[in-house]
């Protein structure tokens, strides 16, 4: 199971950065850094979600490493490896692109899109997730949202993308660092329990909790989905041991959430009982 490689921002994120560009043009000031006054959104909707060149390199490198490390069992030629390979992905651009980048190295010229078994991405009930979020929102979200301005979220998104895609640290990331350093006051309004916590740390907490409810123990359905994944993998292992499956490799490509689902089910991530939906029920 491999996570997809470095990707372009999604459509929603690109539209947010388009709005940010318009805001900067409208309110630009001579005191701003020159790069900020002339900043233009470098991402295009036509490439939304697709792998970057670095992302393709990531998966191609992974394939080369696997072939070098496990070639004794996988086969000594691309033709042999491809004959016994089973590719599986979600039908989303960055995951499909990852399977292609990997397959072009692992299977060589024998690889094609017809080699991929693609299934729709998993969806879960928004109502169920909203119910599970309720205690968390009541206890933490007022303070968290009070500290997180829309501008900070814009800066984080822009910094993340420029760092991952362009290896650039001197523009949005520098601006983010300076704004967080200057906005590090304690949150001492009301009965806040989040004393002297920076907005950036609160954003990390918010994102961690979001992943917890989407893919971790926060929702009971997550363990059922992960159980299905693991059962499939175990069945394939048993079939290979018994000689009922001639696949040399089952190659799956997914999201961060796919990996978290499985690792949580395996007990790699554990959380305090207060956040466990099963105990709350």
Q: Taking the domains of the chain in order of start, what are their residue ranges?
A: 1-132+213-281
> What's the pTM value of the predicted model, to 2 decimals?
0.79
Q: What is each CA distance from 244 to 75, 79, 235, 237, 251, in whole angstroms?
A: 19, 21, 10, 10, 18
pLDDT in the model for residue 188: 43
pLDDT at 274 over 80: no
- CA dist 237 and 99 (Å) reads 21
> What 8-state DSSP symbol labels residue 196?
T
∠ CA 20-23-28, nearest 5°, is 120
Band (262; pLDDT cuts 50, 70, 90): confident
What CATH number should be reported for the domain whose range is 1-132+213-281?
Answer: 3.40.50.1240
Asked if 93 and 52 count as a contact pair (C-beta separation under 8 A), the reply is: no
- Report the DSSP beta bridge partners of residue 85: 249
Average pLDDT over residues 169-173: 84
């Amino acid at each position: 199971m491999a996570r997809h490689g470095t990707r372009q921002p999604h459509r929603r994120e690109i539209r947010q950065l388009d709005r940010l560009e318009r805001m900067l043009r409208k309110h630009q000031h001579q005191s701003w850094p020159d790069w900020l006054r002339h900043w233009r959104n470098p991402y295009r909707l036509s490439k939304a979600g697709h792998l970057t060149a670095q992302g393709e390199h990531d998966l191609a490198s992974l394939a080369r490493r696997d072939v070098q490390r496990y070639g004794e069992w996988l086969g000594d030629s691309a033709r042999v490896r491809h004959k016994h390979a089973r590719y599986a992905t979600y039908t989303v651009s960055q995951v499909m692109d990852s399977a292609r980048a990997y397959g072009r190295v692992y299977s060589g010229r024998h690889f094609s899109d017809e080699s991929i078994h693609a299934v729709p991405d998993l969806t879960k009930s928004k109502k169920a997730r909203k119910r599970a979020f309720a205690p968390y929102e009541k206890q933490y979200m007022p303070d968290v949202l009070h500290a997180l301005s829309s501008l900070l979220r814009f800066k984080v998104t822009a910094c993340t993308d420029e760092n991952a895609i362009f290896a650039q640290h001197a523009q949005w990331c520098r601006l983010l660092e300076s704004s967080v350093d200057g906005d590090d006051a304690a949150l001492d309004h009301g009965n806040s329990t989040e004393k002297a916590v920076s907005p950036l740390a609160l954003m990390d907490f918010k994102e961690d909790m979001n992943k917890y409810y989407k893919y971790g123990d926060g929702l009971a359905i997550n363990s059922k989905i992960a159980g299905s994944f693991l059962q499939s993998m175990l069945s394939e292992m048993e079939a290979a041991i018994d000689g009922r499956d001639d696949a040399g490799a089952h190659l799956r490509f997914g999201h961060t959430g796919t990996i978290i689902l499985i690792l949580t089910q395996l007990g790699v991530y554990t959380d305090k009982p207060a956040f466990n939906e099963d105990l709350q029920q």
